[in-house]
Amino acid sequence: MFDLARMPELVRSKAEALGESGLTWLATLEDQVRWFENNWDVKVGEVLSGGSEALVLSAFRDSREAVLKIGLPAEDGLRHEARLLAMANGCGYAELFAFDESRNAMLVERLGRPMGEGTLAVQAQIDLLCETAIESWITASAGTGFVTGAGKAQWLREFILAATHKNPDAISFAVKDQALVFTHSREQAWSPDTSKLIHGDVHAFNALSDPKRNGRFRFVDPDGYFMEPAYDLGLIMRDYHEELRVAPLRLGRERAEHLAKQSGLEVQPIWEWGFVERVTTGLYLLDLGALDEGRAFLEVAEQWIG
């Protein structure tokens, strides 16, 4: 049963920070839930954990398990997510059942447990993430309204410059310079002819088990970019630090080569995106105060200069 008291504190605090619009959103949530039950023919259940930009609730529609997401009033992410899920039509992603742009809400298929909560070995997770990413890439054309690879590279470069200006000692000059060089090379390499609509936030907690296919996974919560698919594989390069610590450079290159072989893509773009994402994620975590976690990303990046 829907219980507003179980709303994640992060969602509540973000709503309150919006001022009048957020407070109105909080005050009308119960009415909104009833509207969706009546108009989308769903039965809403409990509040689910993990939401940050939306209230996420379990639901049933025609005896199928679903998830109802009601986005914060100032957030535009659900519109992009819904467009991507509609284009995917269940291939590589949870199926989209309904979307109401005016109410900033969507109803999607409920998948199983996240890969990251299971007991799969790291290499198996890497292989399955790569396999799921390949399945999820969507052929699209320029002008679809999603951020391009050039735009993403520019944003990451600006983030590095701002973060290192704020914290000059966070990374070495060599790591900063290499990351900036790679953002320029990926920006220059962007082309609509080699781009697809990709997930953009691939990791083991965005890959959920597929109830229709034993041992397979599909994605949720895409960011959605129109860019080279190597970016999604660079995100896989970013994670799983412990398996790299014995010989970070050699094992990192081997991981990039493995992903390239599995996907049929070139090694260098995977390597460059992985390096940039490892650096930006580390800097972001340091800024949040998660010092140990941030340094874990950056220590490997230091060893990847070679």
Q: Do 126 and 99 fall within a single domain?
A: no
**In terms of Cα–Cα distance, which of 211, 242, 258, 218 is closest to 115?**
218
pLDDT of residue 160: 98
- The number of domains in the chain is 2
Q: Do 195 and 251 fall within a single domain?
A: yes
Q: Domain boundary residue among 109, 125, 143?
A: 109
Q: Using the predicted structure, report yes or no on whether residue 76 has a pLDDT greater than 80.
A: no
Which residues, 6+ apart, have CB-to-CB distance to 124 below 8 Å?
none
Instruction: Please say whether the beta carbons of 249 and 304 come within 8 A.
Output: yes
Percent of the chain with pLDDT over 70: 97
100-110 average pLDDT score: 93
Taking only the tens place, the pLDDT of each residue in 177-219 is 999 999 999 999 999 999 999 999 999 999 999 998 999 999 9
Which pTM value belongs to this model?
Answer: 0.92
Q: Domain boundary residue among 109, 124, 148?
A: 109
Q: Do 237 and 119 fall within a single domain?
A: yes
Range of the domain at 152: 115-303
Side chain identity at residue 283, one-letter code: L
Q: Do 121 and 230 fall within a single domain?
A: yes
145 or 206, which is more confident?
206
Instruction: Please say whether the beta carbons of 88 and 206 come within 8 A.
Output: no
103-132 average pLDDT score: 95
Q: Do 34 and 100 fall within a single domain?
A: yes
What is the sign of the dihedral through the CA atoms of 93, 154, 144 and 262? Answer: negative
Question: Where are the alpha helices (H) located in the chain, listed in sequence order?
Answer: 9-17, 20-27, 29-39, 77-88, 122-136, 149-166, 173-189, 230-238, 248-263, 267-288, 291-303
Q: Domain boundary residue among 91, 109, 127?
A: 109
Q: Do 69 and 188 fall within a single domain?
A: no
Q: Do 234 and 134 fall within a single domain?
A: yes
Q: Do 152 and 47 fall within a single domain?
A: no
pLDDT of residue 306: 66
Q: Do 237 and 254 fall within a single domain?
A: yes
Q: Do 17 and 139 fall within a single domain?
A: no
Q: Do 54 and 138 fall within a single domain?
A: no
181: domain CATH number is 3.90.1200.10
Taking only the tens place, the pLDDT of each residue in 229-267 is 999 999 999 999 888 989 999 999 999 999 999 999 999
Q: Do 104 and 170 fall within a single domain?
A: no
pLDDT of residue 1: 57
CA–CA distance, 83 with 98 (Å, rounded to integer): 11
26: domain CATH number is 3.30.200.20
